[in-house]
Chain A
C-alpha cells in the first residue's frame, strides 16, 4: 500500500488506465519484436580451452639462482600477440581446414581477420589463459579452438626454447671474447714482469735500503777518522821509544842489596855491639857489594869505549815498542778496510738511487696492467658462471622443465549454442514489454508539465486543497472498461501464450 501511496506510482497507474490500449499494444509489439529477434538471431557456439601456464615445478627450487625460468607478466597479452600473429593464424586456418592451399592471399587475410575478431583471449586466473572462439558451426568452433590451443602451446614452447638458446649463445660468445682478452692481458703482464724483474720492492724498500747505506757510510767515516787519529798517535809514540830496553842493571841490584843489608845492620846495632858476629858479617857483605858495584861500572865504561855490545842477559827487546808497532799495523788495516767499505757503500747508494727511479715509472704501468687484468678476470669469471646458468636454463627449456604449458581444460564439442539463447529473448521481450509502457508513461509524465498529482497544489502553489475527485464511472463506462480490460487481459494472455509456445518449440528443438 505504501508503494501505491507514492504519487509518482499513482500517476503512472492512473495514466496506464487512461492509455491501457496503447500500453497493451506496446507490450504486444515489444514481445513480437523479441520473438522475431529470437527466431532470426544466429546461433553461436562458443568453445573455450584453458591453458595452465606453470612456472613452478619441481626443478625450480632445485635450480634456484642457477637458472632463470622464462617468466611473463601479462600472459594473456603475450598469448594474444602470439595467437593473433600471422604465423599461428596461417597454421590454424590450414590445420582447421578453413582454407585450402589454393585459397588466394586476400581471402586468407579475410579469414584471418574473421578468426581474430571471433577469438578472445583472457586471463582466466593467475596462471590460466583462456582461449575462446565463437562460431555458427559447432564442429568448426571445436576444431578451431582445439587447433588454436595446440598451436599456441607448440609455438610458445618453441619460442621459449629459442629464447633461452639465444641467451646461451650470446653469453657463450661473450665468454669466449673475454677469455681471449684475459689471455692477452696475462701475456702482457708476464712480459712486463720479465722486463722489470729487478725492480722489485716498493718505494719503502728503496728508502730503507738507502738509509741503511747512508748510515753505513756515516758510521764507517766516523770509524775511519778515529782509526786515523789512533794511527797518528801510535806513530808519535813509536818515534820516542827505544827499540830495546835494559832491564834493571846489576848495580841497581847491588845497591838494592846494600840498602837491604844496611837496614838489617841498623836493626841489629840497636841490640848488639858492633862486634856481634852478625854485625860483623853484615859489614863484610856490604863491603863486598860495594866492590862489585865498582867492578860493574868499570866493565860498562869499557864496553862503551870499545863499542862492543856486551851481551848481557839482563839486556832485552823493548816490549812497549813491540806493542806499539803491533797496534800501528792493526790500525792501518782498519783504516784501509773502512775506506774500502765507504767506497762500496757509495757505489751501492748510487745503484739504489737508479733502481728507485726506474721503479717509480714501472709501478704505474704495473698497476694499470694489473687493474685491467683483474677487471677482465672478474668479468670473465662472472660470464663463465652465467654461461653455465644459461646452459642449464637452455637444457631445462629443451627438456620442458622451465615454463610449462598444460591444457587445463580441453576444448569440448559444444552441444548447446552459447550467447543469447532463444529463451533469453523471450524473457527479455516479456520484461521489456512490461517495462516499456510503464517507462514511456513515466517519461511522458516527467516531460509533460500538466498537473497530474494533487499534492503540489497545496505544497507548491500554497492553495487550499479541498479534495481530489476521482472520475465518476457511469454504468456504461464501467461496462466498457470491464470489457476493455477483459479484451486487453486476453491480449496479454495470448501474447504470453505465443511466447511460451515458441519457447517450448525451441526447447523441443523444432525452431
Chain B
C-alpha cells in the first residue's frame, strides 16, 4: 500500500465518506459527474508542460465526485480487491499486473483490452480488479467499459438496474458521454456498463461514434486507464475489432479450463506489439486458514450435532410417552 493510499484511507476513516473536492470545479459541476475536461495527454515527449498537466490531472482526480464508498465487506462480497485485503495473494497479484503494465506503458495511460481464452474465463473479474488496482493509487483513475455485449456484467455493480450504457450512447447521437460513466463506490474507479444485450455488436464497434468516444475518453485524464472487458477471443470476431482500437491487450487464461490449442488460437488474433501478456487466473490456492480455529470449529460442529441429536431423541421419547399416556 502506497503512502498516498494510506493517507487517503486515514482521511476516509476520519471524515467518513466525504472525500468531497474542496477546490472549485472548472466545469459541469451540476452533472455531479467527472466531466472535467481532460488535460492534454499527448503521446510525445515528456515536457514541463506535461508535468503541469499531470499536476492538473491530479487535481482533477482529487476533485472527482464519489458516490457512497463501498465498505470492505461489500467489496469482498463482490470479489473486488481493496488495499488492506488479507488473503492468499490476490491483491499482490493485481498490484504486480499494474506494475508490469505501467512498466510497459512507461507510466502513460492507455486503453487495455482484457479478454479471456474461453467464456467464463474471468476476464470481467480481472478487468474489475485491475481497475481497482489502478485506482489504489490516488494519482490514477480507471474506467471500465463493458464491451461484452452478449453477456454484460458490470451493470450489476450499479444500484440502477438498467443504467444508461455503451449501447445507449452509440445508438443515441444526442447522448452525452458523461451520462454513461458511472461511479461504483470505489474511489477513482468509473464504469461504462454495456447498456443492454446485443447479439451483433460488431456493427457498433466499427461505428465512427465508437472510435470518437474512445478518443474522447483517452484524452479526458492523462492518468486514466481505460480497461475494456471484451468477450472471449474464441467466441466472437468482435474482440478482434476491439483489439484493433485498443493500445494493449491482456489475455486471461483460466486455471484448468483451456488447452494449448485454444491458447494458440487466441494468440494468433492478437497483434504482438499490443500484447501485454498473460494472466493465469483463478489458481485454486487455499486461503489462509487458522488451523486452531478449524479444530475448534470441528468440535463445535460435533457438539452441535450431538445436541441436535439429543433434542431429537428427547422429542421422540416425548411423543412416545404422550402417545402411551393417551392410550
What residues of chain A have their CB less than 8 Å away from a CB belonging to chain B?
A: 14-15, 17-18, 448-452, 454, 457, 460-461, 463-476, 478, 481-483, 485-487, 489-490, 493
Minimum distance in angstroms from A86 CB to a CB of chain B? 65
Residues of B within 8 A of A452 (CB): 255-256
A475 nearest in chain B by CB position: B76
The contact string, 1 if C-beta is below 8 Å from chain A, for chain B 254-298, is 011111100110010000000111111111111101000111011
20 additional A-B residue pairs with CB within 8 Å, beyond A468-B280, A493-B298: A14-B255, A15-B256, A449-B260, A451-B255, A454-B280, A461-B264, A463-B277, A466-B97, A466-B250, A467-B100, A467-B279, A469-B122, A472-B79, A472-B125, A474-B79, A482-B293, A482-B294, A485-B294, A486-B297, A490-B302
Residues of B within 8 A of A482 (CB): 289, 293-294, 297
Taking a contact as CB atoms under 8 Å apart, the answer to whether A467 and B93 are in contact is yes
Q: In the complex, how many residue pairs between chain A and chain B have their CB atoms under 8 Å apart?
A: 139
Q: Give the contacts of B102-149 with A (CB-CB under 8 A).
A: 122, 125-126, 129
Taking a contact as CB atoms under 8 Å apart, the answer to whether B286 and A466 are in contact is no
Most buried by A among B76, B89, B278, B282: B278
Taking a contact as CB atoms under 8 Å apart, the answer to whether A461 and B263 are in contact is yes
**Among B94, B280, B293, B298, contact of A457 (Cβ-Cβ < 8 Å):** B280
**Interface residue count for B (Cβ, 8 Å)?**
51
Q: Whole-angstrom distance between the alpha carbons of A469 and B254 in the complex?
A: 9
B95 nearest in chain A by CB position: A467
Q: Whole-angstrom distance between the alpha carbons of A461 and B117 in the complex?
A: 14
Q: Tell me if B171 counts as interface (CB < 8 A to partner A).
A: no
Taking a contact as CB atoms under 8 Å apart, the answer to whether A451 and B256 are in contact is yes
Q: Tell me if B44 counts as interface (CB < 8 A to partner A).
A: no
Q: Whole-angstrom distance between the alpha carbons of A471 and B301 in the complex?
A: 27
Q: Tell me if B215 counts as interface (CB < 8 A to partner A).
A: no
Taking a contact as CB atoms under 8 Å apart, the answer to whether A481 and B287 are in contact is yes
Minimum distance in angstroms from A220 CB to a CB of chain B? 133
**Among A469, A471, A481, contact of B279 (Cβ-Cβ < 8 Å):** A469
B252 nearest in chain A by CB position: A469
| Given A449-B259, A451-B259, residue A474 in contact with residue B276 (CB < 8 A) | no
Chain A interface mostly helix, strand, loop or mixed?
mixed
Taking a contact as CB atoms under 8 Å apart, the answer to whether A454 and B283 are in contact is yes
Minimum distance in angstroms from B309 CB to a CB of chain A? 15
Taking a contact as CB atoms under 8 Å apart, the answer to whether B259 and A466 are in contact is no
Minimum distance in angstroms from B70 CB to a CB of chain A? 14
Residues of B within 8 A of A483 (CB): 297, 301
**Among B260, B278, B285, B295, contact of A465 (Cβ-Cβ < 8 Å):** B278
Minimum distance in angstroms from A430 CB to a CB of chain B? 20
Taking a contact as CB atoms under 8 Å apart, the answer to whether B278 and A457 are in contact is yes
Taking a contact as CB atoms under 8 Å apart, the answer to whether A14 and B297 are in contact is no
**Among A15, A450, A460, A474, contact of B76 (Cβ-Cβ < 8 Å):** A474
Q: Whole-angstrom distance between the alpha carbons of A478 and B87 in the complex?
A: 10
Residues of B within 8 A of A457 (CB): 253, 263, 278, 280
Taking a contact as CB atoms under 8 Å apart, the answer to whether A14 and B97 are in contact is no
Minimum distance in angstroms from A307 CB to a CB of chain B? 184
Residues of B within 8 A of A489 (CB): 294-295, 298
**Among A450, A451, A475, A481, contact of B289 (Cβ-Cβ < 8 Å):** A481
Q: Whole-angstrom distance between the alpha carbons of A487 and B305 in the complex?
A: 11
Residues of A within 8 A of B96 (CB): 466-467
Most buried by B among A17, A457, A471, A485: A471
Please list 13 pairs of residues, one from A and one from B, whose beta carbons are closer than 8 Å in the complex, sorted by A's number.
Answer: A454-B278, A461-B260, A463-B278, A467-B97, A468-B283, A471-B282, A472-B81, A474-B76, A481-B289, A482-B289, A487-B298, A490-B298, A490-B302
Taking a contact as CB atoms under 8 Å apart, the answer to whether A471 and B284 are in contact is yes
Q: Tell me if B90 counts as interface (CB < 8 A to partner A).
A: yes
Taking a contact as CB atoms under 8 Å apart, the answer to whether B280 and A18 are in contact is no
Minimum distance in angstroms from A455 CB to a CB of chain B? 9
Residues of B within 8 A of A468 (CB): 93, 279-280, 283
Taking a contact as CB atoms under 8 Å apart, the answer to whether B259 and A473 are in contact is no
Q: Tell me if B236 counts as interface (CB < 8 A to partner A).
A: no
Most buried by B among A449, A451, A463, A475: A451
Q: Tell me if B208 counts as interface (CB < 8 A to partner A).
A: no
Q: Whole-angstrom distance between the alpha carbons of A355 and B211 in the complex?
A: 150
Taking a contact as CB atoms under 8 Å apart, the answer to whether B258 and A450 are in contact is yes
Taking a contact as CB atoms under 8 Å apart, the answer to whether B280 and A465 are in contact is yes
Taking a contact as CB atoms under 8 Å apart, the answer to whether B97 and A478 are in contact is no
Q: Whole-angstrom distance between the alpha carbons of A461 and B265 in the complex?
A: 12
Q: Tell me if B160 counts as interface (CB < 8 A to partner A).
A: no
Q: Tell me if B317 counts as interface (CB < 8 A to partner A).
A: no
Q: Tell me if B88 counts as interface (CB < 8 A to partner A).
A: yes
Taking a contact as CB atoms under 8 Å apart, the answer to whether B263 and A471 are in contact is no
| Given A452-B255, A466-B277, residue A473 in contact with residue B100 (CB < 8 A) | no
Residues of A within 8 A of B76 (CB): 474-475
Taking a contact as CB atoms under 8 Å apart, the answer to whether A469 and B126 are in contact is yes
Minimum distance in angstroms from A486 CB to a CB of chain B? 4
Taking a contact as CB atoms under 8 Å apart, the answer to whether A14 and B284 are in contact is yes
Q: Whole-angstrom distance between the alpha carbons of A203 and B115 in the complex?
A: 127
| Given A463-B277, A464-B277, A482-B293, residue A470 in contact with residue B259 (CB < 8 A) | no
The contact string, 1 if C-beta is below 8 Å from chain A, for chain B 219-254, is 000000000000000000000000000000011010
Q: Whole-angstrom distance between the alpha carbons of A241 and B285 in the complex?
A: 173
Taking a contact as CB atoms under 8 Å apart, the answer to whether A485 and B283 are in contact is no
Minimum distance in angstroms from A400 CB to a CB of chain B? 73
| Given A457-B253, A486-B297, residue A466 in contact with residue B77 (CB < 8 A) | no
**Among B87, B97, B256, B278, contact of A472 (Cβ-Cβ < 8 Å):** B87
Q: Whole-angstrom distance between the alpha carbons of A469 and B116 in the complex?
A: 14
**Among B100, B250, B281, B286, contact of A17 (Cβ-Cβ < 8 Å):** B286
Residues of A within 8 A of B81 (CB): 472
Most buried by A among B88, B97, B255, B289: B255
Residues of B within 8 A of A485 (CB): 289, 294
| Given A457-B280, A464-B277, A489-B294, residue A451 in contact with residue B94 (CB < 8 A) | no
B257 nearest in chain A by CB position: A450
A455 nearest in chain B by CB position: B280
Taking a contact as CB atoms under 8 Å apart, the answer to whether A481 and B280 are in contact is no
Residues of B within 8 A of A463 (CB): 251, 263, 267, 275, 277-278
Q: Tell me if B73 counts as interface (CB < 8 A to partner A).
A: yes
Taking a contact as CB atoms under 8 Å apart, the answer to whether A475 and B280 are in contact is no
Taking a contact as CB atoms under 8 Å apart, the answer to whether B301 and A490 are in contact is yes
**Among B89, B263, B276, B284, contact of A466 (Cβ-Cβ < 8 Å):** B276
Minimum distance in angstroms from A451 CB to a CB of chain B? 6
